[in-house]
Structure formats: C-alpha cells, structure tokens
C-alpha cells in the first residue's frame, strides 16, 4: 500500500475557531484521514502571544508570532486565516494567494469587502479561496448553493444569518431579559465578534447576505447600497405584541431576485415573521436559511450559526475540499474560478430601488396621553395612504402610552415620511420605531 501524503496546515490566529479546528481534527482524526486518503498535520500556529493560557494544548514548536512561517512557507499546503478583521488578514491572505496557496477562511467581513479582489488573485495564481465557515457557521450553505442546488436560479433566499443576535432575541422572548443582560453570555459562549457592533448592528449578517448574493447571482453588492439595520431598537414589548399577533421578531437577511425586471434586492433588518414559517421557529444560536430555487422549490437549512465546534466543522470541510484539490480534484463546480458563468448570472442585473420596497409594517409610537392623539396619528398616516391593520396600546405609569400598530400594505418611502412627521408632533415622544413585516409568499 502506498504511503498517505501528509498535508501541512498553518493557522493564522488561534482563538475560538482556530482552537476548534485543532481540537476537532484531533477528535475525529482517524475517520477524517481515512476519508481523505491523507494525513493532516497542523505544523504552524501563528499567535500574538504564545504564553497565553488556552484550552487547547499545542506543542511549543508549533507556535510562532511570525505569519511568514505560514504564508511564505513552501511546506505549508493550506493556510487557514482565522484571525479576523480586514487589516492584517487582508495583507496575509493576499500574500498567500499571490503565491498560489489554498486559503481557508471564516472571515466574512474580509470577503464582503475584498472578495472580488481576493478571488481574482486566487484565480490568477492557481490557488483557491474557501469560505464555508464565513456564512451561517456550521450550515453548509456555500456548498449547497454552489454545488447541491446548481440546477436552480434563486428567486428568494432569506433567513437568519447571525447567531449572536438570534441568541439574544430568543432569551429576550423566553426570559424577558434585556439585551445587555444576555450579551455577556453570548460572548462567553464564543458567538460574538471581537467588535460586538458587527453583530448588534446587523453588519455581520449583512456581510453574509452580500456573500450569498454573490454566490447566487454573481453580483457584488456594497454594504452602502443595502438596508442594514440591527437589533438594538427591539424591545421586550415589541416581541410581546408581535407574539400576540402571531409573529416572531427575527433579524432577517433577504436576497430576492425579480427575473422579469432583472432586479436584485439585498437587505438585512429585523422583521416580524409569521410563527407558521419554519424560519420563525429557528431560535437560540441557530441560523436558518430558506432557499427557493426554480427547480427544487423551497429548501430550508437549519444549524448552529456560531460557536467553536459548529464553525470549525465548516472550516474542516473546506480543508477536506482543499486536500482533494491538492490530490488533483478540480476546483468546486460553479465557483469563483468560473468567472464567465458568474458574469452571465449578473448580466444587466440592477439593484431594486429601496424606497419602492413594499409590504406591511409594525410601528411603535410613544405618545402623551392627550385627547385625540390616536385620531391625529391616524390622519398623519392616512396622508401617506397608510392604514391600521391592528392597534395595541400600553399605558405607562408616567401617564404616557405606547401605541403599537401594524399597517396594511405600504412602502419604505411612505413609512419614512410618516415617521418624520410623527416625530415632529408635540404629542409624540422621541422618534417612532418601525419594523417590516416579512411575508415570503409576497416576494
Ligand atoms: N466565533 C464564531 O462563532 C465564528 C463563527 C464564524 C466565523 N467566525 C470568524 O472567524 C474568525 C475568527 O473568529 P474567532 O471567534 O475565533 O475570534 P477570536 O478573537 O477568538 O480569535 C482570533 C485570534 O486571532 C488572533 N489574532 C488577531 N490578529 C492576529 C495577528 N496579527 N497575528 C496573530 N494572531 C492574531 C487574536 O489574538 C485571537 O486570538 C473571524 O473572522 C470571525 O468573524 C467566527
Ligand atoms: N458573530 C457571528 C459568528 C458567526 O459568523 C454570529 O454570531 O453569527
Ligand atoms: Na457555512
């Protein structure tokens, strides 16, 4: 029997995900190496501080603070960039790809901002850039869209793409906790980005939506071109009223393509979604992605969207594909290597104008308890052709009240104008808050 080839892997960064990759390759080593027909050796681990106490023990000779020992080392077959950020990570990923290396990453911020350039460098130099862990943690969504659902054109992809915010919303709903009270737990569980604003302001999930939009439609969309709103405005009372009306509030990514108009809508925002929808039942750190293809129909994938083990499962899956490539397998079927296909997908494709986005809305308006205030609000909304579907009122101890209303069909521009007029009223306290009501059957 011929000797198995040893594949040498270098890790850049050894935090939550990096240690998970080490731990789980070790855990299932014999089955993994049997399936791959190769031996896996993580020979270099680049850290800032080798003396730091870590859960996973690594032989001292593997540690270094010099990225060149991974990036410029001809003995390293696969570079895993698991340090995060868009500074040093960009520089090192570029350098590795320029040398024709295979790079595996979990870094969605980097792909969203620099994917176009990095895939091009990979293409030109015969390397490859794998990124399954970057979207929806352990869910194999990249492989699913790119390979398993290759027969389809995608009218609608939507779902929950951030584990931290879904974990927070779930605990707010179940335990009535504030979001500050749950953020610390999410951090301890290894879900939260080094910069927590990425999770809380929707940016992390928007990065992932941009990556999915590229995969499905071949078009890179800038974060500045899309609606991106996080979970900070959601209160316990919003979740409670939504629940009474048959909805959950979820941070949703929506990637909708109108093939007739050749328009694409990519957005990321909290939304009320009917409890009947599968995605509404996706709680805690789980992510869920609903993919509607013109051939397969709707397929929903659910799994852990963040955390050490789930994320490292996806990184190891990319390492496995990299091993197959190193053994002579072609690069994945429809991939960034096949630019012509991707350009055809995106031919003439425009972004749908945001202010024409139509649907129903939920509005929370804090008012002074004055006579006629509801009639006044109703008048202001009527001027924008917005009508109430439901009205709930909550009296507060200070004599003010919160009005929680849902509307019949309206649109972004009308809601924005109505909110501005409402905020200027002396009987309205602060700025009204609105969330969209998302109905996938109306897309
Ligand atoms: N934690 C998750 O659930 C999760 C899930 C999916 C994707 N990701 C992504 O994976 C990447 C890593 O995330 P993490 O949760 O492991 O973060 P982390 O902060 O736990 O680990 C990153 C490590 O990289 C180190 N590092 C940063 N710059 C370095 C440098 N120049 N040289 C050496 N080491 C450096 C940091 O000191 C840290 O130990 C990020 O891109 C993140 O967005 C994380
Ligand atoms: N911070 C991210 C990690 C997974 O990408 C999340 O909570 O979803
Ligand atoms: Na994934």
Flag whether 384 is in a domain: yes
Flag whether 214 is in a domain: yes
What contacts 295, CB < 8 A, 6 or more positions away?
151, 152
Confidence class for position 369, pLDDT limits 50, 70, 90: confident
Average pLDDT over residues 57-67: 96
Q: Using alpha carbons, select from 161, 105, 160, 93 the residue that is nearest to residue 134.
A: 105
Residues 133 and 240 in one domain: no
pLDDT(342) > 80: no
Q: Give me the domain span that covers residue 47.
A: 5-138+309-345
CATH number (domain holding residue 100): 3.40.50.720
Q: How far is CA 284 from the centre of its chain?
A: 15
CATH number (domain holding residue 378): 3.30.70.260
- Boundary residue ending a domain (294, 324, 345): 345
Where do we find the tokens 């080094």?
A: 194
Distance from the CA of 136 to the center of ligand 2, in angstroms? 7
Tokens of 387: 């009508």
Residue 52: CB atoms within 10 Å = 9
Average pLDDT over residues 149-166: 97
Q: Is the CB of residue 230 below 6 angstroms from any atom belonging to ligand 1?
A: no
Q: Are 232 and 200 in contact (CB under 8 A)?
A: yes
* In the chain, % of residues over pLDDT 90: 92
Has the ipTM of the complex gone over 0.90? yes
Q: Is the CB of residue 282 below 6 angstroms from any atom belonging to ligand 1?
A: no
208 carries an active-site annotation: yes
- For residue 312, which ligand has an atom nearest its CA? 1
Residues 90 and 25 in one domain: yes
Flag whether 26 is in a domain: yes
Q: Using alpha carbons, select from 377, 369, 375 the residue that is nearest to residue 401.
A: 369
Flag whether 292 is in a domain: yes
Confidence class for position 341, pLDDT limits 50, 70, 90: confident
Residues 153 and 274 in one domain: yes
Whose alpha carbon is nearest atom 38 of ligand 1? 15
Is the C-alpha dihedral spanning 175, 179, 183, 189 positive or negative?
positive
- How far apart are the C-alpha atoms of 230 and 245, rounded to whole Å? 22
Residues 155 and 285 in one domain: yes
Residues 127 and 239 in one domain: no
Residues 321 and 214 in one domain: no
Q: Which atom of ligand 1 is nearest to the CA of 190?
A: 1
- Boundary residue ending a domain (351, 383, 417): 351
Catalytic residue among 208, 248, 402, 419: 208
Q: Which atom of ligand 1 is nearest to the CA of 314?
A: 6
Q: Which atom of ligand 1 is nearest to the CA of 92?
A: 31
Average pLDDT over residues 222-244: 97
Q: Is the CB of residue 306 below 6 angstroms from any atom belonging to ligand 1?
A: yes
Residues 412 and 381 in one domain: yes
Residue 123: CB atoms within 10 Å = 18
- How far apart are the C-alpha atoms of 209 and 204, rounded to whole Å? 9
Pairing, β 428-438 against β 63-64:
unpaired
Distance from the CA of 11 to the center of ligand 1, in angstroms? 11
pLDDT(81) > 70: yes
Flag whether 232 is in a domain: yes
**70-79, 278-287, 309-318, 327-336: lowest mean pLDDT where?**
327-336
Distance from the CA of 129 to the center of ligand 3, in angstroms? 14
Residues 30 and 126 in one domain: yes
Flag whether 443 is in a domain: no
CATH number (domain holding residue 169): 3.30.360.10
Q: Which atom of ligand 2 is nearest to the CA of 186?
A: 7
Residues 105 and 40 in one domain: yes
Average pLDDT over residues 341-346: 79
Q: Give tens-digit pLDDT for 105-153.
A: 999 999 999 999 999 999 999 999 999 999 999 999 999 999 999 999 9
What does the pLDDT read at residue 346? Answer: 87
What contacts 91, CB < 8 A, 6 or more positions away?
none
Residues 215 and 92 in one domain: no
Average pLDDT over residues 56-61: 95
Q: Is the CB of residue 193 below 6 angstroms from any atom belonging to ligand 1?
A: yes
Q: Give tens-digit pLDDT for 285-324.
A: 999 999 999 999 999 999 999 999 999 999 999 999 999 9
Average pLDDT over residues 39-66: 96
- How far apart are the C-alpha atoms of 352 and 350, rounded to whole Å? 6
What does the pLDDT read at residue 49? Answer: 93
Whose alpha carbon is nearest atom 3 of ligand 2? 306
- For residue 138, which ligand has an atom nearest its CA? 3
Flag whether 75 is in a domain: yes
What does the pLDDT read at residue 256? Answer: 98
Q: Cβ < 6 Å from ligand 2: which residues? A: 137, 162-164, 191-193, 199, 204, 305-306
Q: Is the CB of residue 138 below 6 angstroms from any atom belonging to ligand 1?
A: no
Q: Give tens-digit pLDDT for 10-23.
A: 999 999 999 999 99
Residues 314 and 286 in one domain: no
Distance from the CA of 93 to the center of ligand 1, in angstroms? 14
- Boundary residue ending a domain (295, 324, 345): 345
Residues 110 and 202 in one domain: no
- How far apart are the C-alpha atoms of 119 and 134, rounded to whole Å? 15
Q: Is 104 left (phi over 0), alpha (psi -120 to 50) or beta?
A: beta
Q: Is the CB of residue 10 below 6 angstroms from any atom belonging to ligand 1?
A: no
Q: Which atom of ligand 2 is nearest to the CA of 162?
A: 8
Distance from the CA of 138 to the center of ligand 3, in angstroms? 5
What does the pLDDT read at residue 335? Answer: 54
What does the pLDDT read at residue 333? Answer: 56
Flag whether 286 is in a domain: yes
pLDDT(337) > 60: no
Confidence class for position 213, pLDDT limits 50, 70, 90: very high
Q: Is the CB of residue 82 below 6 angstroms from any atom belonging to ligand 1?
A: yes
- For residue 305, which ligand has an atom nearest its CA? 2
Q: Give tens-digit pLDDT for 386-429.
A: 999 999 999 999 999 999 999 999 999 999 999 999 999 999 99
Is the C-alpha dihedral spanning 139, 47, 44, 42 positive or negative?
negative
pLDDT(2) > 70: no
> Total structural domains in the chain?
3
Whose alpha carbon is nearest atom 4 of ligand 1? 306
* In the chain, % of residues over pLDDT 70: 98
- For residue 112, which ligand has an atom nearest its CA? 1
Residue 261: CB atoms within 10 Å = 10
What contacts 320, CB < 8 A, 6 or more positions away?
32, 35, 36
């Amino acid at each position: 029997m011929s000797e198995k080839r040893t594949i040498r892997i270098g890790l850049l960064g050894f935090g939550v995900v990096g240690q998970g990759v080490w731990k789980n390759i070790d855990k299932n080593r014999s089955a993994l190496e049997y399936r791959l027909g190769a031996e896996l050796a993580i020979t270099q681990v680049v850290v800032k501080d080798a003396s730091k106490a870590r859960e996973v023990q690594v032989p001292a000779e593997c540690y270094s603070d010099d990225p060149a020992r991974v990036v410029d080392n001809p003995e390293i077959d696969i570079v895993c960039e698991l340090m995060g950020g868009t500074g040093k990570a960009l520089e090192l990923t570029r350098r590795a790809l320029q040398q024709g290396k295979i790079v595996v990453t979990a870094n969605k911020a980097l792909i969203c901002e620099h994917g176009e350039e990095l895939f091009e460098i990979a293409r030109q130099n015969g390397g490859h850039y794998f990124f399954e862990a970057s979207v929806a943690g352990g869910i194999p969504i990249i492989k699913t869209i790119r390979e398993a659902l290759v027969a389809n054109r995608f009218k609608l992809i939507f779902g929950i793409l951030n584990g931290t915010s879904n974990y927070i919303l779930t605990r707010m709903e179940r335990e009535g906790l504030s979001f500050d009270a749950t953020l610390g737990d999410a951090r301890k569980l290894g879900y939260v980005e080094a910069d927590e604003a990425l999770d809380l302001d929707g940016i992390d999930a928007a990065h992932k939506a941009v990556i999915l939009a590229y995969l499905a439609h071949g078009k890179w969309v800038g974060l500045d071109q899309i609606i991106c709103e996080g979970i900070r405005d959601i209160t316990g009372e919003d979740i409670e009223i939504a629940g009474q009306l048959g909805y959950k509030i979820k941070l949703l990514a929506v990637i909708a393509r109108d093939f007739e108009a050749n328009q694409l809508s990519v957005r990321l925002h909290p939304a009320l979604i009917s409890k009947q929808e599968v995605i509404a039942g996706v709680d805690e750190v789980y992510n869920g992605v609903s993919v509607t293809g013109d051939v397969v129909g709707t397929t929903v994938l659910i799994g852990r969207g963040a955390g050490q083990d789930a994320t490292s499962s996806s990184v190891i899956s990319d390492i496995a594909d990299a091993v197959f490539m190193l053994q002579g397998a072609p690069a994945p079927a429809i991939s960034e290597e096949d630019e012509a296909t991707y350009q055809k997908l995106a031919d003439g494709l425009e972004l749908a104008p945001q202010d024409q986005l139509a649907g129903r809305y939920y509005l929370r308006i804090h008012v002074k308890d004055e006579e006629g205030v509801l009639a006044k609000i109703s008048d202001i909304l009527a001027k924008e052709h917005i009508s109430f579907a439901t009205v709930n009122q909550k009296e507060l101890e200070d004599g003010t009240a919160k009005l929680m209303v849902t509307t019949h069909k309206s649109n972004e521009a009308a809601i924005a104008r109505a909110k501005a007029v409402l905020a200027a009223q002396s009987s309205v306290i602060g700025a009204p808050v609105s969330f969209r009501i998302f109905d996938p059957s109306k897309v």
